[in-house]
Amino acid sequence: MRALLLAALLWLASEAAGAASYALIDQTQGVVVNIIEWDGVAPILPPAGQSIMQAPDGVGIGWFYGNGHFSPPAAPLPDPAVQMQALLVAGLTVQCAAGATVCTSAIEGTYSVDENSELHINNVYSSIKGGDGLPGGGQTFYFKDIHGIGHPFTAEQFLEFAPAARDFYYGASVAEGLLQAGQTASWPATAVQLP
């Protein structure tokens, strides 16, 4: 009955000249639970546990009210799994360290390290370590960067690159798991310098 009376009063109030937006605020949490039109004069009785305050334009349900001010709700945090996938697809940038003896400018670039790429990287690495050499059996093989451009890697260069890619993938995976569990974590660096 009380809710029906409140609705009727609100409708009458909104029809009156000078009606404005008011927020119904949960007094225990300070959260806006409804927005109504009211002239600020006609008698109105908010539901138990709620107060009423004139709301500036843009204030809506879910906003907070405290210390005489409205504030928007916090933006939702991005999904860590989506962040991780974006990080891995954006890739790991390979740069040659100063005085590099293995790395050459020919392999500098940014390489995707998503799940499929990491599997390919690990397969080539295992093949080299197992004595089978590079794919195609030559002295170099072309490994594509995120733009689809092939870079000529020697076995020695790939043996430096693959662990860096593995560690990047692992670091991203650990950070994603910690963030999913509500803990703090840092994403791994997106660039590596090879010797």
Q: What's the burial of 161, exposed, middle or buried (CB within 10 Å: 0-12/13-18/19+)?
A: buried
Is there a contact between 129 and 159 (Cβ–Cβ < 8 Å)? yes
pLDDT, mean of residues 151-164: 98
pLDDT digits (tens, 9 = 90+) for 24-78: 999 989 999 999 998 888 888 888 999 999 999 999 999 999 999 999 998 877 8
User: What is the spatial distance between Cα 109 and Cα 106, in angstroms, rounded to a whole number?
Assistant: 8
Residue of higher predicted confidence among 101 and 15: 101
Residue written as tokens 């000249």?
Answer: 17
pLDDT tens for each residue of 75-107 = 877 899 999 999 999 999 999 999 999 999 999
H helices, E strands: number in the chain = 4, 10
- Quick: pLDDT tens for 181-192: 999 999 999 999
For residue 109, the Cα-to-chain-centroid distance in whole angstroms is: 24
Contact in structure between 25 and 31 (CB atoms under 8 Å):
yes
Half-sphere exposure of 78 (CA within 13 A, CB side): 9
**Does residue 13 have a pLDDT over 90?**
no
Residue-level length of the chain: 195
Is the pLDDT score of 153 beyond 90?
yes
- In degrees, rounded to 5, the angle at the alpha carbon of residue 97 between the alpha carbons of residues 130 and 154 is 30
Instruction: Report the mean per-residue pLDDT for the chain.
Output: 90
Amino acid at 44: I
pLDDT of residue 45: 87
Q: Looking at residue 4, what is its pLDDT?
A: 47
Long-range contacts: 101-105, Cβ < 8 Å, 24+?
101/195, 102/156, 102/157, 102/160, 102/194, 102/195, 103/157, 103/160, 103/193, 103/194, 103/195, 104/157
